[in-house]
Structure 1
């Protein structure tokens, strides 16, 4: 019995036992308004992300999708929620009606109506009257085309030169570098394309493909086009180019009005691409079965991880849509690594740990402990073979590092929370030490930040090691200093656990060096003391209310009002520098009252929760709930900013859960859950059960904590640890009410670097 038939039977059984949680998912949520969510079809961590590529001059289609524009193709590869510049849009097909005399002239087709989609299914209509339906497995995709009944020439174009373009003018646009296509006697085609660049400035990378049609073509023709001249048919049926000046492709013409195509991809070979499609979507597979398999996989592996008794449609949509988008990348490419032979798992399409380390990776460990262990092993294996841990990675290439070497934070967080299994932590620690001690070569030079490497590692280490701070000769100096301190705290944590006590003391001391950027005399809005740029002559004056910046500036995607709060491992000392708890509360309140809070960028993710450190848990609840309810919505513009590969979604999910993780520590700050009941499957038969009484059951009102029981016992701290409820499961019982009460009397959250 084939696997898809077995899965379909399981799917029908599941439907009979429980509601289909995928019904709550809006795949278009956050696909417009800068969210850049991918609305096409994919499996959890799947290599294939099949969806439309919309072309509109001047508009970057980061995930392929735009609300306006014309179809340039329906391609197999995309990324989720990324910025910078588009990536992939490779291995594409495009349905065309009528005579096509110049197929490689970058043809586009207008959209007719509004695209429709759900988990595992996408449908669009072209202005030619063609209905396009899509679904996917992990490493293969399926297209179903329905042409107009009166059409005489039903064509499908395969253009190997097709990529997602970029119009931002930052030098990050992708380029076609050459490829080949062979049409075989049985009608299937195979080939490869080589491309470069994209948001991570990757050098040449090659993807292989293998496509089949379920109908016999009336004709199948291979074409070349040199220097964008008119396409020329090549009678051999096989075309090849090693130059970006020669596009290659093919046109398949059918008399049937309904055509199904199955395509596999591989990073290794065309043979493996053919194996992938033969194994995952074999000949004779019904289109509906692939859709149903996708729904089953998402329900069993992802959506069922969190269940609730809530019936509020808006909250359920936000919950399951967020779970969906956070599981699209990284890509599980195990067995598809062209760089080296290894028995270790391989995950890539990491965008980026600068975005993900605060919320996303912590939630990934909770929801997907097995996959997360594989991801940690994969990071260490990348260091073994590429020399450094990635801060970001795509098309099998590290880049770009925006601040610190934040994979160090990821490894530290996994270590202190007990990730062991098959992880070689001695190697993991060596990889972290490489980040902390060896400056990466500045090659290739990043034109947006030419001073030091943005490839991986810590480009500004020379100053950090010799001075204990970072001078403006390095771009993003303040951001890097703040983050290098966090990275060094991560090394302290792992070194301590491995019994490397002298190392631990060294890195603990270094984790305090963010203080060297603290200018107690810098003022803003009535407050004194901020992290600022400095050189060997002293601090450099700035305006904290206006000093945010980008690649070439002292701060990156935030300013000193944001970065002054980021070293939470040293929070008690920071509170002292700010003038004590009362002034710290006033400063936090000013962030929100004066419109300084930026929900669109990660450096301020933790700010609504920091009130817990000054014993004002009630303000953490009210401020974070206001952000969640006012900035996150259902619908295409439902995200406050770029998804950043699910970073925004995981911030929202933690708000729903009622906890907030402190990366690199076992600490979780307590705020307030949305739902009357929430059950989180932790794997291995363990669960975290969360209940609340006295609230409105949807987190809109009456959300202040009156009392809390943890595992049946009264709890007086405004924080808890991994061991309390996650290591073996646990139970949180909240009593909520309409007004703030002082229910905490225990010690404040730990501040390890302040001891």
Structure 2
């Protein structure tokens, strides 16, 4: 035991030594930020976009652990598959091991072990202790993981349970719980094991899916026993050194026992076969792999491929942790599963674990484009290839299955954003356009599968409420989420218009349809002294809608946002929106009320926990008040984000929250589907963004406090050395070939922007 403690101390010294290197940005990544308080961040081991996300599965009997992790509770296993920042229901928690001490008579009886102390982790490394005095250390690669166990030096038997039937449970009872469908495991003469598990459901309600595994122990096995069990009460059969295989719900697993206190395990996974899982393991963690070297390789990859994309002069540790931790979490998913698509053969890239474009299209995918242009193009090619083979673009996808679509077909927005910013490469844009037209014109199968939370239409993909939209130009309450779907369908149609226009296709009908959100704008709806909001309507006219209610979910009129919030959505038609709301002065007053403390019966109207209000603080730019944009957006960032384990205002949503924060630090905000960026002000004196291909965006700020806490009002701005007087710029100005932004900041607001307002294409009679 003393040797194991010494080994752990030596590792920690190594980590600290590397952390002192100036180019090791991983020292600023706190993998526990946002793991509590509903953030659902994943704190385990992963490479950027890695298929393996190796970490703990914790049960506390009362809350779902969507990423597997919870700060309190017992360990049910340590699994190679998890999601990052997802909500609604758990997903994965598959390919699992659990260290156990002593005589284990019923290994498949949902055994859990208590934890001892607080888990520790850093980029590429996870460490935890059980209350049986077992230390677990985890490291990994893209498609394989490494477990290192240090058991107590007592005479008790040291065991590792491999449970093919393990998955993350769901406590909410929302009809989304995963289930185990069957599996098999075989232990070979050399002690290595292979097998698979089949499962279904989870947050995207996917049907049966299988994952394959191949595992080795680099420690001598004294005994191994395979088990199966019909339920959670215990095993009904066992066999030393053999196999169990079945296609029913019979649980299967294997218990491996050791004399040594130090046990090392290596496991590869695959969506294709056990043979491929063994190949992935051999390619990435072959025999005699060094555990510490794996960690260092993981750190190097994160530093080189992700964290070094943004460099700053900041010295404030809190700001650096927020920046680099946010960069880290936004790159955990989607998963790069290229070559691991089980359903079809393709030479195209394949990414999945998309959660979800509804969360990400507003600012997450735009930032991915800036920081990862190569991976971003691959992701776009992947979703188009999914359309080729399955008929629809995904709005969300996991376990190789589309779903669930919360509102519009928002992959359309993602594709349009890339198109108008000149992304071409190997993307077949005619296919991309055809996929968008399918979303806009063809309702998906309306009853297969039936969603118990929204039985009116399929939530798997596409636009389930399309019949009303096409016939009436609005969506009636015959469809759930009718109001929020309508404003999103309008945004989707504008996106299709942008691509159609660029390709020389018929486009005017989609521009006209993009204005149909106005058909839900009820000028007589009132709240807090303001008139005019998007509300429910049918053929008889507008229906009563609680403008301030933001509690809506799948079966309600508005999804995760109020009518007050959704009235601000369609900024491709911003000028018309402002006119409908009473003009610039009334619009400013309405925005001010949105951020007024306690304005809504003692609570705040602005909701930082959900995406529908992401853009609202920046809309002051449409009336040339960027000073108020800076004030409100900076206040939100500084008061709702922190470096604590509860440091996110809401669910991470696959990094969506983190990307909003990064854009706030940069001093720009993207308008998806246009090449427009709204200007506010940066946090730091200097920031350099690597745009790839030798291009950079250099951002400087003089007069500020280099932490964004004060002196953040823009006094003067130069873009590429030229004086700038408008509240927006374009992709071509500073991103296409690189560029510079030079801010002069100060304590007091200045009216520096008197130039043209940001574009509002759908508000113009001919479009633009």
Residue 610 of structure 1: aligned partner: 619
1:15 CA displacement: 8.0
Aligned counterpart, 1:202: 206
> What SS does the aligned partner of 2:27 have?
helix
**Counterpart-to-counterpart distance in 2, 1:170 and 1:101:** 34
> Which residue does 1:6 correspond to in 2?
none
Q: Is the 8 A contact 2:28 2:325 kept in 1?
A: yes
Distance 2:762 2:304 in 1: 41
Aligned partner (choices 374, 391, 395) of residue 399 of structure 2? 395
User: 3-state DSSP class of the match of 1:91?
Assistant: strand
Aligned to 2:363: 359
Q: Are the equivalent residues in 2 in contact too, given 1:134–1:144 (CA < 8 A)?
A: yes
What pairs with 1:506-517 in structure 2 (closer than 5 Å)? 506-517=509-520
Structure 2 alignment gaps of length 5 or more: 1-14
Matched, 1:53 2:57: yes
Residue among 157, 160, 164 paired with 1:156: 160
The equivalent residue for 2:389 is 385
CA offset digits 1:194-221 (Å, max 9, x no partner): 0000000000000000000011100011
1:620 paired to 2:625 = no
| Residues 1:467 and 2:472 are matched in the alignment | yes
Contact 2:19 2:27 in 1 (8 A): no
Q: What does residue range 355-754 of structure 1 map to in structure 2 within 5 Å?
A: 355-442=359-446, 443-500=448-505, 503-546=506-549, 548-593=551-596, 594=599, 595-754=604-763
The correspondence of residues 25-424 of structure 1 with structure 2, limited to 5 A, is 25-231=29-235, 232-235=237-240, 237-244=242-249, 246-424=250-428
Deviation at 1:478, TM superposition (A): 0.4
**Structure 1 residue runs of 4 or more that deviate by more than 4 Å after TM superposition:** 11-17
1:97 and 1:151 in contact (8 A); partners too: no
Partner of 2:507, secondary structure, is helix
The CA deviation at 1:58 is 2.2
> Matched residues in 1 for 2:733 and 2:343: separation?
41
Deviations 1:316-372 (A, max 9, x none): 000000000000000000000001000000000000000000010000000000000
SS in 1 for 2:214: strand
Distance 1:151 1:40, change over 3 A: farther
Distance 1:542 1:99 in 2: 62
Contact 2:110 2:232 in 1 (8 A): no
Q: 1:73 to 1:169 in 2, by over 3 A?
A: same
Q: CA deviation at 1:56?
A: 1.6
Structure 1 distance, partners of 2:16, 2:79, is: 30
3-state SS of the aligned residue for 1:145? strand
Please give the TM-score of this superposition, normalised by the length of structure 2. Answer: 0.96
Give RMSD over aligned pairs.
1.2
CA distance, structure 2, for counterparts of residue 679 and residue 644 of structure 1: 27
CA distance in 2, matches of 1:177, 1:698: 52
Q: CA deviation at 1:697?
A: 0.8
Measured in 1, the distance between the counterparts of 2:379 and 2:621 equals: 31
| 2:330 and 2:655 in contact (8 A); partners too | yes
How many Å apart are 1:149 and its aligned residue?
A: 1.2
C-alpha separation in 2, matches of 1:21 and 1:663: 29
- Given that 1:393 and 1:399 are in contact with CA atoms closer than 8 Å, whether structure 2 keeps it comes out as yes
5+ residue gaps, structure 1? 1-10
TM-score (norm 1): 0.97
1:452/1:459 contact within 8 Å kept:
yes
Query: 2:403, 2:544 → 1: CA distance?
Result: 32
Q: Secondary structure at the match of 2:104?
A: coil
Q: CA offsets per residue over residues 226-252 of structure 1, 9 Å max, x none? A: 2334312124611112111x1100000
Is the contact made by 1:26 and 1:635 (CA closer than 8 Å) also made in structure 2? no
Contact 2:677 2:730 in 1 (8 A): yes
On the 8 A contact 2:224/2:240 being kept in 1, the answer is no
* SS at 1:110 equivalent: coil
* Helix, strand or coil at the partner of 2:181: strand
- Please give the alpha-carbon distance, in whole angstroms, between the structure 2 residues aligned to 1:248 and 1:13: 44
Does the 8 Å contact 1:416/1:664 carry over to 2? Answer: yes
How many residues are matched? 742
- Deviation (angstroms), 1:542: 1.8
Q: Call closer, same or farther: CA 1:304–1:266 in 2, change over 3 Å.
A: same
- Tell me the distance in 2 between the aligned counterparts of 1:14 and 1:334: 32
Preserved contact between residue 390 and residue 398 of structure 1 (Cα < 8 Å): yes
1:506 Cα deviation from its structure 2 partner? 0.6
